[in-house]
Structure 1
Amino acid sequence: MTLDTVKHATETPDAEQPWAELGLKKDEYERIREILDRRPTGAELAMYSVMWSEHCSYKSSKVHLKQFGEKAPESDALLVGIGENAGVVDVGQGYAVTFKVESHNHPSYIEPYQGAATGVGGIVRDILAMGARPVAVVDPLRFGAADHPDTKRVLPGVVAGIGGYGNCLGLPNIGGEVVFDPCYQGNPLVNAGCIGVMKHEDIHLAKASGPGNKVILYGARTGGDGIGGVSVLASETFESTGPAKRPAVQVGDPFQEKLLIECTLEIFKENLVAGIQDLGGAGLSCATSELASAGSGGMRVELDTVPLRDATLSPEEILMSESQERMCAIVEPQHVDRFMAICEKWDVIATVIGEVTEGERLEIFWHGEQIVDVPPRTVAHEGPVYQRPYARPDWQDALQADDAARLPRPKSADELRAQVLKVVGSPNQASKAWITDQYDRFVQGNTVLAQPEDAGMVRIDEESNLGVAMATDGNGRYAKLDPYTGAQLALAEAYRNVAASGAKPLAISDCLNFGSPEDPGVMWQFAEATRGLADGCLELGTPVTGGNVSLYNQTGETAIHPTPVVAVLGVIDDVTRRTPIAFAEAGQLLYLLGDTKEEFGGSAWSDVVHGHLGGLPPAVDLDREKLLAEILISASRDGMIDAAHDLSDGGLVQAVVESCLRGGAGARLVVPDGLSAFTFLFSESAGRAVVAVPRSEELRFTDMCGARGLPATRIGVVDGEEVEVQGEFRIPLAELRTAHEEAIPGLLA
């Protein structure tokens, strides 16, 4: 093959180039020529194509994402915000916590096991690159209909990939969600999150400064897997014919990643790096251009020194490969020998591939010939910015007018009982133990809460019992009805879940999953959801620290429901004061906190019983959410409640059943005055929780709620071995357990 060198590119301006095949638009290709004042070399074209992809450049979304900065609330906790590998917050006692959620949707449909496994690996390296030890992972997942044949192909592979990779790393999987909906058929959402812990002084940033400093690539060898990977795969829709791009999916090796983690942490401990970046989406193209762009600007790389698994790879393929378990470090010359010695100790391959230079260009050479000469900012940070047209879809009014209030309600106590069992045993409301039991939730011994609790929680200091909690939530049905409100409901639910565990919400990361940005209706959904999330975070005081946008989640003309997934991170001073969801002790008094209204749009009941989606989602009151959170946190800290469970999908009856089954104790419920039994059980009004209060604490608890103006209604008592709604029905826990726990294994058998 004849190499396209910089000189040759200058001398042959009219040579044909495969810019369209690499995903670039004609105007983008012309812009590259304008930047370089010549046509790009083949290697430069490869770099620009992956770095200017939707997945890496956010070219359709960045005009909306800037709201997260413009509307950012004041926060004493925020240490590192948007723009780095992950956000960092101060959690006290000198500790900092870094966290982030990202997507690996398209690769996971094509090759479920490796797609999901490398999604975990990638997010773990993002956390590691900040200077932190990864301590836990979470996985919000969305699949097609639970009984669809392709779900049986995709889901087991995804779950095995997440469990296999995370378990091998020794990281507990403490949270996430699993949702089934036909809209995700052909476009599953595999979002992965990670939490890492460090001291304030250990924070590292992705920059390459200091002329003469060495650029060291270390970790696995570079292979042909993942060429164009997420950067290209995630920037186009699937055709209705299905997946056909297996070579683009990365292949993971968790044992190599474990060595890389320990090696990197030892390097950090000895303060040997001046800058560091993991190699994820866009591989070396991303690592070199971002490090140079964020630093002094100049870098020279000898690409032929990169260790390869496949000696036949071209320079373009090496630059585009997204092979896993690789990091890039900037190291001062006097530290190189020690850096290499630590890598050798951990059996990690490390190679000096270049150095930081005085100039402002990223220059890459291949066997002595210059193949790249670009301003790095134009590759990494100055890609296209699209003001995509957006418009409220024509069908939105009709969808909202199709109110769930018109749906027939149960006419008898027997029918109400049957519908309770139907909802509790439906795929989205059923126990996900078949899935979560494949994850190690307690490895390392610091897991305090994990699935099916409201939030995952880990202890980060064994002496003080300081801990952090995380919850992820998102409801595509709500967002389809109203994207602005739907995004705020996702935020509110994750915020409420963290507070219900006893932790104080501090900050968020998000994963915004939508269809094609080239559809004005999808872009309207995205714009509204982003606006809703930014407004909600401002009101709740929880800054967005970073996240991910995943677009083109559609097959042909059919897009997924808009699915903004929100991860809220919280801190708890003493994990021994955390609140579980389990009703475990007879005599505990059950209180419903918040107001219950006739709100069934997008509800589990309307979906499961009637197959209906229409109307408006529940209203959002963020002031009420803040008040509810304050009450839950105070009650947890002061020992006023034994259990708490937020109310969301499935309403009160779903929460009560889950808490009863978790603790092995029944409950007797009384319908409050002014509510029908149906509304009491199935309404999905937001800003609510059910708590179990010891009799000795009832007066103190109700006085606190009354003083702060939070409605608190006594609705029953923990007792017996059944769930009874007085005057309506009784269901033994054994019958509920069968319905709740056998649904998923039955569907996936």
Structure 2
Amino acid sequence: MNEIVEKEKEFTIDSIPEPEKIEDVIFSLMVNPNLSSINYFNDFSEMNISPDSIGDSDTDETGLFDIDASGTCMAMSTHAFHHHLEYDPQIATEILVSRAARKMLCFGATPIAISAFLYHIDFADPNGQFIASGAKKGLENAAQKFNLKISDRKIRFDHFSEHGPVPPTIIVSMMGAIEKREQITSHKFDKKGNNIFMIGRSVDDVGSSEYLEFYHGIVNSPLPAFNIDDELKIQNALRKLHEKDLIQSASPIGKGGLFFTLLRSAIPNGLGFDITSDAEIRLDSFLFGESMGRILVDVDSEKEDDFVDVLTEFKIPFFTLGHVTKGEIRVDDISLGFIDKMTTGV
């Protein structure tokens, strides 16, 4: 663990060379299996899963279950995290719970309850006790912030005295409720010309990202930028946007960063996007960094003023990215081709 801490102290984004061609990063990451999105809950077919199935369901990989004939649904999702449990288990757990709640709120569900499972730890060892104690604190703090009920045992353990190369991992399962199935907000872009916004603030941060691990081969790096109070403010603003029906789609910016979140939104309906990056942020960080507290939305132009008013009321930073296109993908006026060429390997 000490070696990891020392390497993290040495790590800065300035030590990561900026890629000469952003296309090289994109097509390298597209073969990363961690960036495929598959709905395991709602697809029990025996057919082989194709990478082209990315984003086929309205709620991505969150499961939906009808409760009664009135349209009330239960939502369920499972999330896992292995970064930094040995170093900062409390913050790592808070990040995971925040990510789960933000994802559920994006499509209109209200998060209600959560349970957690610690995997591959030896809780008879002092380090295992440190991980378990920190994870419990993180779970309780995040549950209090987001008004979640926790299962009675709070965290379940799987005891491994020698887990070998498998890192300690925490898995959370979250349950939520949707009053009416027709109120679900999809993650899919569905209309050319809609404006695309990023809710939240971008920072120069690539810590613990797929880009850093898969493209640069750097495993030990800091946790992604995160502030749980900012998460709470953004999630409260998102509730208001849903209440006023001001967003056409919503997606948490997660694995693969902004660019792959855009792809997951664009691919299902064969649409594209034309965006402009933030000149104050490195392009690789802007597109592939996985800092927390950000949501991708598209907004009908007729609702844009009301959308901005809500974010201003909540004092939430946002960034105007661009607009949905008929199929072309453009970043900073450079064409990266068309969406139908972006599905292979994703």
TM over 0.5: yes
Within the candidate set 679, 682, 699, 2:288 is matched to 682
Q: Identify if the C-alpha distance between structure 1 residues 411 and 727 changes in structure 2 by more than 3 Å, giving closer, same or farther.
A: farther
Shift of 1:568: 2.2
Q: Say if 2:322 is the partner of 1:723.
A: no
Deviations 1:267-312 (A, max 9, x none): xxxxxxxxxxxxxxxxxxxxxxxxxxxxxxxxxxxxxxxxxxxxxx
Q: Does the CA-based 8 Å contact 2:59-2:186 persist in structure 1?
A: no
Within the candidate set 159, 162, 170, 1:552 is matched to 159
Alignment-derived partner of residue 614 in structure 1: 220
Within the candidate set 42, 59, 62, 1:455 is matched to 62
The secondary structure found in structure 2 opposite 1:656 is: helix
Deviations 1:76-126 (A, max 9, x none): xxxxxxxxxxxxxxxxxxxxxxxxxxxxxxxxxxxxxxxxxxxxxxxxxxx
Alignment-derived partner of residue 18 in structure 2: 410
Deviations 1:535-577 (A, max 9, x none): 22222221212465233346x4625322111222222222211
Amino acid at match of 2:182: T
The secondary structure found in structure 2 opposite 1:479 is: coil
Q: Identify if the C-alpha distance between structure 1 residues 506 and 432 changes in structure 2 by more than 3 Å, giving closer, same or farther.
A: closer
Larger radius of gyration: 1
The secondary structure found in structure 1 opposite 2:167 is: coil
Shift of 1:517: 2.1
Q: Identify if the C-alpha distance between structure 1 residues 397 and 573 changes in structure 2 by more than 3 Å, giving closer, same or farther.
A: same
Q: Identify if the C-alpha distance between structure 1 residues 440 and 633 changes in structure 2 by more than 3 Å, giving closer, same or farther.
A: farther
Within the candidate set 276, 285, 302, 1:696 is matched to 302
Q: Structure 1: how far apart are the matches of 2:57 and 2:263?
A: 18
Q: Does the CA-based 8 Å contact 2:67-2:74 persist in structure 1?
A: yes
Alignment-derived partner of residue 469 in structure 1: 75
Q: Whose relative contact order is higher, 1 or 2, with alpha carbons under 8 Å and at least 6 apart?
A: 2
Amino acid at match of 1:579: T
Q: Structure 1: how far apart are the matches of 2:201 and 2:341?
A: 30
Q: Which has the higher helix share?
A: 1
Q: Identify if the C-alpha distance between structure 1 residues 705 and 611 changes in structure 2 by more than 3 Å, giving closer, same or farther.
A: same
Q: Structure 1: how far apart are the matches of 2:321 and 2:88?
A: 32
Q: Structure 1: how far apart are the matches of 2:262 and 2:84?
A: 22
Shift of 1:474: 2.2
Shift of 1:425: 2.5
Q: Structure 2: how far apart are the matches of 1:683 and 1:592?
A: 14
Amino acid at match of 2:316: L
Alignment-derived partner of residue 602 in structure 1: 208
The secondary structure found in structure 1 opposite 2:101 is: helix
Amino acid at match of 2:187: I
Alignment-derived partner of residue 338 in structure 2: 732
Q: Identify if the C-alpha distance between structure 1 residues 571 and 597 changes in structure 2 by more than 3 Å, giving closer, same or farther.
A: same
Deviations 1:4-29 (A, max 9, x none): xxxxxxxxxxxxxxxxxxxxxxxxxx
Normalising by structure 2, we get a TM-score of 0.88
Alignment-derived partner of residue 484 in structure 1: 90
Q: Structure 1: how far apart are the matches of 2:211 and 2:302?
A: 36
The within-5 A match list for 1:593-672 is 593-672=199-278
Deviations 1:341-389 (A, max 9, x none): xxxxxxxxxxxxxxxxxxxxxxxxxxxxxxxxxxxxxxxxxxxxxxxxx
Q: Identify if the C-alpha distance between structure 1 residues 735 and 478 changes in structure 2 by more than 3 Å, giving closer, same or farther.
A: farther
Q: Structure 2: how far apart are the matches of 1:668 and 1:411?
A: 21
Q: Structure 1: how far apart are the matches of 2:228 and 2:217?
A: 30
Q: Say if 2:182 is the partner of 1:576.
A: yes
Deviations 1:694-719 (A, max 9, x none): 11111111111111111121101010
Q: Aligned Cα RMSD in Å?
A: 2.5
* Runs of 4+ more than 4 Å apart: 435-438, 449-452
Q: Identify if the C-alpha distance between structure 1 residues 590 and 567 changes in structure 2 by more than 3 Å, giving closer, same or farther.
A: same
Q: Structure 2: how far apart are the matches of 1:404 and 1:428?
A: 24
Q: Identify if the C-alpha distance between structure 1 residues 410 and 518 changes in structure 2 by more than 3 Å, giving closer, same or farther.
A: same
The secondary structure found in structure 1 opposite 2:144 is: helix
Q: Structure 1: how far apart are the matches of 2:57 and 2:117?
A: 21
Alignment-derived partner of residue 53 in structure 2: none
Q: Say if 2:9 is the partner of 1:401.
A: yes
Amino acid at match of 1:567: S
Deviations 1:562-618 (A, max 9, x none): 211122222222221111111121011100000111222211111111221223202
Amino acid at match of 1:496: R
The secondary structure found in structure 1 opposite 2:223 is: coil
Q: How many residues align?
A: 336
Q: Does the CA-based 8 Å contact 2:58-2:188 persist in structure 1?
A: no
Deviations 1:621-649 (A, max 9, x none): 22222222222233223321111110122
Deviations 1:56-85 (A, max 9, x none): xxxxxxxxxxxxxxxxxxxxxxxxxxxxxx
Q: Identify if the C-alpha distance between structure 1 residues 466 and 675 changes in structure 2 by more than 3 Å, giving closer, same or farther.
A: same
Q: Does the CA-based 8 Å contact 1:481-1:615 persist in structure 2?
A: no
Q: Structure 2: how far apart are the matches of 1:732 and 1:481?
A: 42
Q: Identify if the C-alpha distance between structure 1 residues 616 and 408 changes in structure 2 by more than 3 Å, giving closer, same or farther.
A: closer
The secondary structure found in structure 2 opposite 1:533 is: helix
The within-5 A match list for 1:176-191 is none
Q: Structure 2: how far apart are the matches of 1:725 and 1:718?
A: 12
Q: Identify if the C-alpha distance between structure 1 residues 628 and 663 changes in structure 2 by more than 3 Å, giving closer, same or farther.
A: farther
Q: Identify if the C-alpha distance between structure 1 residues 590 and 552 changes in structure 2 by more than 3 Å, giving closer, same or farther.
A: same
Deviations 1:492-542 (A, max 9, x none): 000001100111222211122232223322332222222222222222221
Q: Structure 1: how far apart are the matches of 2:15 and 2:93?
A: 25
Q: Does the CA-based 8 Å contact 1:404-1:600 persist in structure 2?
A: no
Unmatched segments (≥5 aa) in structure 1: 1-392, 442-448, 741-749
Alignment-derived partner of residue 532 in structure 1: 138
Q: Does the CA-based 8 Å contact 1:454-1:645 persist in structure 2?
A: no
Q: Structure 2: how far apart are the matches of 1:419 and 1:520?
A: 41
The secondary structure found in structure 2 opposite 1:508 is: strand
Q: Structure 2: how far apart are the matches of 1:703 and 1:451?
A: 27
Q: Does the CA-based 8 Å contact 1:436-1:451 persist in structure 2?
A: no
Q: Does the CA-based 8 Å contact 1:410-1:416 persist in structure 2?
A: no
Q: Structure 2: how far apart are the matches of 1:722 and 1:637?
A: 32
Amino acid at match of 1:666: G
Q: Does the CA-based 8 Å contact 1:666-1:721 persist in structure 2?
A: yes
Shift of 1:668: 0.6
Within the candidate set 315, 318, 323, 1:712 is matched to 318
Q: Say if 2:184 is the partner of 1:588.
A: no
